[in-house]
Amino acid sequence: MAEPERPRTDRSPWNWLLLVPIVVPLLTFLYNHDEPRLAGFPLFYWLQLAFILLGVGTTTLVYQMTKRNRGRS
Amino acid sequence: MSDHITEIVIFTILFLVVSGMGFVASRWRAPQDMAHLDEWGLGGRSFGGWITWFLVGGDLYTAYTFVAVPALMFGAGAAGFFAVPYTVIIYPLFFLILIRLWSVSHRHGFVTPADFVRTRFDSPTLALVVAITGIMATMPYIALQLIGIEAVLKTMGVTGESALARHLPIIIAFAILAAYTYQSGLRAPALIAFVKDTLIYIVILVAVLWLPYKLGGWNAIFDAADAKFQASPAPNDGILLNANNQVQYITLALGSALALFLYPHSITGVLASRNRGVIKRNMSALPAYSLLLGLIALLGYMAIAAGVKPLPGAKPGTVDSNTVVPILFDQQFPAWFTGVAFAAIGIGALVPAAIMSIAAANLFTRNIYKEYLRKDATHAQEANVAKITSLVVKIGAVACIVFLDPQFSIDLQLIGGVIILQTAPSVVLGLYTRWLHRGALVAGWVAGMALGAWMLWQIPNAATGRKHFGGSAFPLSEFGFDSTRTIYVGFVAVLANALVAVLVTLALRAAKVAEGVDGTVPDDYLADEGDPRIERERAGTVDNISST
């Protein structure tokens, strides 16, 4: 797809989403508890492991939404 | 020693296979001309998604991490689990930063973060400061990889009476590593990383499925850990955080995350990738290693549940808690599988050690040799100096372990994390703004280094009875706060660094001190593979690209 020459930018409102997986893992009050346990894991452990999925989901979403649709130049 | 003969045989075979791959790697994706730092030191800047994933994954999650994190969980409990939030935060935090660094480095042919700082701030001095910080932070990190191998060798009973006999296997291993890194450059760890990580993933998946079954389930494992920490007199251990160590937990996670991609070896892995898309996709794919690390951390609790007793340390009366995971495997698994697991840890040490020595060599070559010793060095001379430097660096790391107390390397690595953070204002903020003055960045660096060193010096360790360098958790009461909480040293030091940089910038600007000329333009930070400007230069004179 031929695109007219315009100044490139890597700014996007989607990038703000990246703050979510940076801030959430730092909120100890969310996960510093034993109950409820999941498959024997105290909340502290399973919820923090679940934050990995939150991180992956967010970076994937931001990547897809900000991908430049440029043809080979 | 005979009890461990199967383990030793399997360990040795896998080690030799991998060493062979290291030498063959120089012919893998072979360039026309290896005598160029882009080829030896950055693998031709051509790695795609998969290679980058294995390379950077093998680079960031080192053998030492795999041994030390469960050891920390074994000893202190929940506080050791900071490794998980730490490795979650890294990727969203650096998602935008790394692609800018990649783009500007691609267009200007930068090999190191110091190259960037030099051009951006027109200051060889600031670049020197960044380069020296990088080398200082990396050297002990390489030495620590040896501690990872040593923990395994110790468990297999490969020890001797004299210091030399005890260290002989490590010296041989590092000599082989040094030889193939010299020959193949970054291609060697990139190729070996495939084997290392495949082994690690298999070993850990088997361990986390099999061990809980054998030890009575996850409930029983966590309860055993809880019981151990309840019984221990130490105030800050437990399977949950307490009121005192929560600030430490989050500042350590955040500070470590910010530091990780400032380490020269991480940046080397990133700059070796082919384009921006490879980096962005890897920010979503690399967390697979974080999950692995989280599961590995829990091996520390499994060791508690299995009643593992760590081997004695170097000094009488101490224990070497780094041996808990090797011993857990030795006790719970058949010898052949333990051999594979030990090989995974041993090879796991080689990949980062190789990349770190290459990164340190790149820094020396580009920012000290070419800048101060030989300004007109050709590409071939640069590559040659880097190869020799990588040998020197490895000899230095081995010497650290053989001749000095290993504790010294651990202390240095603790300091390394704090000091590498002090390059953040120049490198990270520099990618976004040139507002900070080059002189102010040097002043901020000095302030951050001094404060960080002082704080680390002040921290005692009650468990080992040491007065200084007892950890990275600084008691807020030392600052005069009425509190028993602690905070991560690096975090405070980098805040002080940034504050000084801002204040001195205002002062220098008021005094109209020259700021130098920015060698980059805004569009540089957005360039991608196949960039028309670079293609034009390539078609014209080949040499212009990387001589800045």
- Beta-bridge partner residues of B47: B273
Residue B312 CA neighbour count, 13 Å, CB half: 5
Give the residue among B61, B33, B31, B36 at the shortest CA–CA distance from B46. Answer: B31
- Beta-bridge partner residues of B473: B488
pLDDT at residue A10 tops 70? yes
pLDDT at residue B131 tops 50? yes
If one counts the domains in chain B, the total is 1
- The pair phi, psi for residue B134, each rounded to 5°, is -60, -45
According to the model, what pLDDT value does residue B333 have? Answer: 92
Residue B320 one-letter amino acid: D
pLDDT at residue A6 tops 70? no
pLDDT at residue B538 tops 70? no
According to the model, what pLDDT value does residue B163 have? Answer: 66
Q: Cβ separation of B85 and A48 shorter than 8 Å?
A: yes
Cα–Cα distance between B475 and B250 in angstroms, integer?
Answer: 15
Tell me how far CA of residue B399 lies from CA of B140, B193, B411, in angstroms.
Answer: 11, 25, 16
Cα–Cα distance between B293 and B82 in angstroms, integer?
Answer: 11
- Residue B540: inside a domain, yes or no? no
Min Cα–Cα distance to chain A from B172, Å: 39
Q: Percentage of chain B surpassing pLDDT 70?
A: 94
Which residues of chain B neighbour A55 with C-beta distances below 8 Å? 88-89, 91-92, 287, 290
Task: Choose the closest CB to B88 out of A37, A55, A60.
Answer: A55
Over the stretch A16-63, which tens digit does the pLDDT of each residue have? 999 999 999 999 999 999 889 898 899 999 999 999 999 999 999 999
Average per-residue pLDDT for chain B: 87
Report how far Cα A73 is from the mean position of its chain's Cα atoms.
Answer: 30
Q: Cβ separation of B85 and A19 shorter than 8 Å?
A: no
pLDDT at residue A72 tops 70? no
pLDDT at residue B471 tops 90? no
Tell me how far CA of residue B55 lies from CA of A2, B51, B178, B257, B278, in angstroms.
Answer: 35, 6, 18, 18, 12
Q: Spell out the residues 6+ positions from residue B453 whose beta carbon is closer than 8 angstroms to its own.
A: B415, B418
Domain range for A43 is 27-66
Over the stretch B143-162, which tens digit does the pLDDT of each residue have? 888 888 888 888 887 776 66
Q: Cβ separation of A40 and B217 shorter than 8 Å?
A: yes
In this prediction, residue A2 has a pLDDT band, given cuts at 50, 70 and 90, of: very low
Min Cα–Cα distance to chain B from A71, Å: 11
- Residue A4: inside a domain, yes or no? no
Q: Is A55 within 8 Å of chain B by CB? A: yes
Q: Which CATH number goes with the domain that contains B495?
A: 1.20.1730.10
Q: Cβ separation of A51 and B84 shorter than 8 Å?
A: yes
- Residue B32: inside a domain, yes or no? no
Which residues of chain B neighbour A44 with C-beta distances below 8 Å? 78, 81, 239-241
Min Cα–Cα distance to chain A from B134, Å: 25
Min Cα–Cα distance to chain A from B94, Å: 10
Q: Is A10 within 8 Å of chain B by CB? A: yes
- Residue B112: inside a domain, yes or no? yes
B72-84 core/surface letters (b: 16 or more CB in 10 A; e: else)? bbbbbbbbbbbbb
Domain range for B356 is 2-22+49-526
Over the stretch A34-43, which tens digit does the pLDDT of each residue have? 889 898 899 9
DSSP state of B232: S
Structure tokens at B257: 């995350």
- Residue B142: inside a domain, yes or no? yes
Burial of B23 from C-beta contacts in 10 A (0-12 / 13-18 / 19+) = middle
pLDDT at residue B64 tops 50? yes
- Residue B401: inside a domain, yes or no? yes
In this prediction, residue A7 has a pLDDT band, given cuts at 50, 70 and 90, of: low
Residues in chain A: 73
Which residues of chain B neighbour A56 with C-beta distances below 8 Å? 284, 287
Task: Choose the closest CB to A49 out of B240, B291, B526.
Answer: B291
CB B94 within 8 A of CB B261: yes
According to the model, what pLDDT value does residue A61 have? Answer: 93
Give the residue among A26, A53, A51, A19 at the shortest CA–CA distance from B255. Answer: A26
- Residue A7: inside a domain, yes or no? no
CB B43 within 8 A of CB B187: yes
What ipTM was predicted for this assembly? 0.87
CB B91 within 8 A of CB A55: yes
Q: Cβ separation of A52 and B290 shorter than 8 Å?
A: yes
CB B136 within 8 A of CB B296: no
Min Cα–Cα distance to chain A from B2, Å: 39
* B454-463 average pLDDT score: 81
If one counts the domains in chain A, the total is 1
pLDDT at residue B30 tops 90? no
Q: Is A30 within 8 Å of chain B by CB? A: no
- Residue A72: inside a domain, yes or no? no
Could you tell me which residue, B33 or B389, shows the higher pLDDT?
B389
Instruction: Please give the helix or strand (H or E) that residue B463 lies within, else none.
Output: none
Q: Cβ separation of A32 and B85 shorter than 8 Å?
A: no
Highest mean pLDDT among A66-70, B109-113, B460-464, B481-485: B109-113
Task: Choose the closest CB to A62 out of B95, B100, B239.
Answer: B95
Q: CB pairs below 8 Å between A and B: how many?
A: 113
Report how far Cα B358 is from the mean position of its chain's Cα atoms.
Answer: 13
The residues of B whose Cβ lies within 8 A of any Cβ of A are 78, 81, 84-85, 87-89, 91-93, 95-96, 99-100, 212, 217-222, 239-241, 246, 249-250, 253-254, 277, 280-281, 283-284, 287, 290-291, 294, 298, 523, 525-526, 528, 530, 532
In this prediction, residue B274 has a pLDDT band, given cuts at 50, 70 and 90, of: very high
pLDDT at residue B221 tops 50? yes
Ramachandran area for residue B229 (φ above 0: left; ψ -120 to 50: alpha; else beta): alpha
Over the stretch B165-206, which tens digit does the pLDDT of each residue have? 778 888 888 899 899 899 899 999 999 998 888 998 999 999
Which residues of chain A neighbour B524 with C-beta distances below 8 Å? none
Burial of A46 from C-beta contacts in 10 A (0-12 / 13-18 / 19+) = middle
CB A17 within 8 A of CB B283: no
Cα–Cα distance between B169 and B165 in angstroms, integer?
Answer: 8
Min Cα–Cα distance to chain B from A2, Å: 15
Interface test with A, best of B73, B209, B240 (most A CBs within 10 A): B240
pLDDT at residue B97 tops 70? yes
Give the residue among B272, B16, B36, B325 at the shortest CA–CA distance from B154. Answer: B325
Q: Which of B60-74, B266-280, B400-414 has the lowest mean pLDDT?
A: B400-414
Q: Is A32 within 8 Å of chain B by CB? A: yes
Which residues of chain A neighbour B91 with C-beta distances below 8 Å? 21, 55, 59
